[in-house]
Structure 1
């Protein structure tokens, strides 16, 4: 049975004694939304999908200005490993504020930075941390991607990059060039020569074969293309890859395929960069997604959860690539002291409490239950993911299947499902090809009861949307279904 919005499961935590409740916005929530629409740029995205005004949040619960409560399965696009306002994070922030530590100090050494670096290096894959260097970047993951690409271009003297279909690495020039989504690339030219390689995607296999064979063909294609003197690929500065594609639709790379990418790049002296911006800090059931395959990359790009909910981004890399001159990649906001304190606390809590293992167990249970629903709800074409990084691809069951048996995508249905989830007190976002994948990114602290509630609400929303004729929507669904700008 679906839990009603406002049930005890959804209650925000009480405000600690002696601390004032979060202030309500001036005027009602509708007025705040109207002002946002009139003042903010048309590039806003999540605000279009979720026409709510959050005023309080705790754990997995977000409370809107209208008093409604929602289970947050977006978690700041994976940033909130411990959910909203976790006590461990709040204590780290209060301790740092009370200490009088400088909140902005550029890239000077501080006790907080040293502590964060220690906490991070303690978690890095075996064989990587002992030869690693760290560079603190601007506060967004895209800047860390830029830094990693620039680092390898400097080290190798080359310019080109190997990237993959379905990839997402950010919105600045170099990161955008490596991104696969055509829609976000069309308006502007992008820098750098990027060779696009096929990423294994069993449900919509680029080779039309699916399964393990698709991954094998991807590896063979990559190796032969790089070795072909007429293949058109100049020796690249790096390969950049996600161990699980996030925006690409929660598509995990097979472990054997990742090991092949590591072999192929190592044999050709091509640095391998793994983008762990969304997969890191326990999200996939291991502290870092590369640990599933056992590979040791040349660089890892880290952001989102490493800041404990605050902006922080770094690139960690093998010391023999450290050929930069001072100031080669800089930025004003590299020294976010509060984020370092919150990040160190988060990293240690995830490790001490076994939250990566917890993510693996809960994620497997959620994925299993959703997979079992495919017979009952044929609009569910595929369920996949790793740990608590899960995707449910929605399809048109009346359509013509392709060579792999995949049915046509159903973007209108996906919009109705997202809106239906919001009506039921569940925040989920869409991703993947054609924005038809419902993505689940709950905090690693999700309880069994909350996981059941997510499944109930999502199931109800899918069933209701599947029974609604295409092109119809009402209430919240009409507002929430404006799509991502």
Structure 2
């Protein structure tokens, strides 16, 4: 990416009514008063936005921020990319139907062609596609229905640290206990398995030994007639856990899971809602392991910044009846047009390779910081999906010498970054992992600037924590 593509905001007047010309404090106060208690991001990122372009957003006070949250990874081309804007404007000029349920259109056919052209032939030769409601959660729900219908079974296998959405069915697959508290039966019908979290290996081993034990455990469970676990309808996982702390599964572990599920005739569902379309340095994260899933769940980036989700799956699973999964907004033509334009640009400019290069550069900066700052326990991730786990250097180490997560410091770092013009998110156990999900168009100078802000923010946050202590 050419650094000349970095753009500056021009001062532009906004023709807003008096209600929408409030200052940031007034807007935030109004939001707190009128919006649901379930709102989350404004509690950690208390700003009111009015404009955005590329990797930058501007708040109503005129402050500009680098956006390394980017719609939780949705905006792989950044905000208001010209290719996406033109695709949407063309669709409006040509008076395309905005919503078509599941009626077909040339735009829909083009979208399928563009998506299938980015997937391995081994998958698309026998693929069916289901268009779902606007969110990744709905696509996960569809995947659950699909495999349960096809197998006639009810139990699902999921992983510690998993995040698959916030609907009741998807929550049953979630590792994080917080959002499930008080929901009664949300956890039923799911058997949780150990994910290969090397830094905090659930078996206390780490590395290849920890992975091998985990795979052996899963294989044994699937073949043990007294495991207590009924034959499952499917196994669902994220190739890189995002909300769980940016934890990448190794290629060898993913290959092992593919082998285990194939041996046990258990459909393998890969949730690539956040990793799909180039973010990890490949078009899809499963390609790092050279495997093919039975079911692939996609959303976020494939709609070109607009709401869209799909499930791509092997035709042998296509046993559900007409109407088994539906939704009013599954025919979002603007999202399909924007998604096609996004996919073509990702392919033409090989943004997957750019993401790999920029991710390697950013990770290098983070590793250098780790060597200087003992509060950074581990740097991990793939491509432009990176995390840094913040630990308490003075905390008691576990059996493998790992210090405890330091959520208070992580929150202070996030606030210090925001103050300096950088938006990022937290995740992982106890909210102790800094997460970076910048648009794939980020340039080298911008990567360096992100690292510079983050370094200053960490040092500032550490000083403030020490003063309070």
Q: In the superposition, relative to structure 1, how do residues 461 and 22 fare at CA in structure 2: closer, same or farther (>3 Å)?
A: farther
Could you say which residue in structure 2 is the equivalent of 1:12? Answer: 9
What is the rounded CA distance, in whole Å, between the counterparts of 2:248 and 2:146 in structure 1?
Answer: 26
Paired residues in the alignment total 462
Confirm or deny: 8 A CA contact 1:308 1:339 kept in the other structure. Answer: yes
1:104 aligned to 2:99?
A: yes
1:113 and 2:108 correspond: yes
2:182 equivalent among 183, 187, 203: 187
Shift in alpha-carbon separation, 1:471–1:416, aligned structure 2, 3 A: farther
> What's 1:482 paired with?
none
Q: 2:146 aligns with which of 135, 139, 151?
A: 151
Give the 3 Å change call, closer, same or farther, for CA 50–270 of structure 1 in structure 2.
same
Q: Aligned-pair RMSD on alpha carbons?
A: 1.6
Q: In the TM superposition, what are the counterparts of 1:183-332 in structure 2 within 5 Å?
A: 183-189=178-184, 190=186, 192-332=188-328
CA distance in 2, matches of 1:131, 1:9: 42
TM-score by length of 1: 0.93
d(CA) in 1 for partners of 2:341 and 2:266? Answer: 35
Could you tell me which runs of 5 or more consecutive residues in structure 2 were left unpaired when the two chains were aligned.
none
- 8 A contact 2:282–2:288 mirrored in 1: yes
Deviation at 1:469, TM superposition (A): 2.6
Distance 1:164 1:291, change over 3 A: same
**Secondary structure of the corresponding residue to residue 457 of structure 2:** helix
Q: Tell me if structure 2 keeps the 8 A contact 1:11–1:69.
A: no
Partner of residue 120 from structure 2, selected from 108, 121, 125: 125
- Secondary structure of the corresponding residue to residue 273 of structure 1: strand
**How many Å apart are 1:126 and its aligned residue?**
3.1
* Residue of structure 2 equivalent to 1:348: 344
**Structure 2: distance between partners of 1:159 and 1:12:** 53
The list of structure 1 runs, each at least 4 consecutive aligned residues, that deviate by more than 6 angstroms after superposition, is: none
Relative to structure 1, is the Cα distance of residues 14 and 265 closer, same or farther in structure 2, using a 3 angstrom cutoff?
farther
Partner Cα distance (1:79, 1:14) in 2 = 27
SS of structure 2 residue aligned to 1:334: helix
TM-score, length basis structure 2: 0.96
Q: Which runs of 5+ in 1 are unaligned?
A: 1-7, 474-485
| Residue number among 27, 30, 55 corresponding to 1:60 in the alignment | 55
SS at match of 1:315: strand
Among candidates 159, 162, 185, match of residue 157 of structure 2 = 162
Superposition pairs for residues 31-42 of structure 1, below 5 Å? 31-42=26-37
What displacement does 1:12 show?
2.7
Partner of 2:169: 174
Aligned counterparts, 1:408-447, within 5 A: 408-447=404-443
Q: Indicate whether 1:49 and 2:48 are aligned.
A: no
Aligned counterpart for 1:89 among listed residues 59, 84, 87: 84
How far apart are the structure 1 equivalents of 2:10 and 2:381? 30
- 2:370 partner SS: coil
1:340-379 matches, within 5 Å, as: 340-379=336-375
Contact 2:362 2:447 in 1 (8 A): yes
Give deviations 1:392-428, integer Å, cap 9, x for gaps: 1000001121122211110100110000000000000
| Matched-pair contact (CA < 8 Å) for 1:72–1:427 | yes
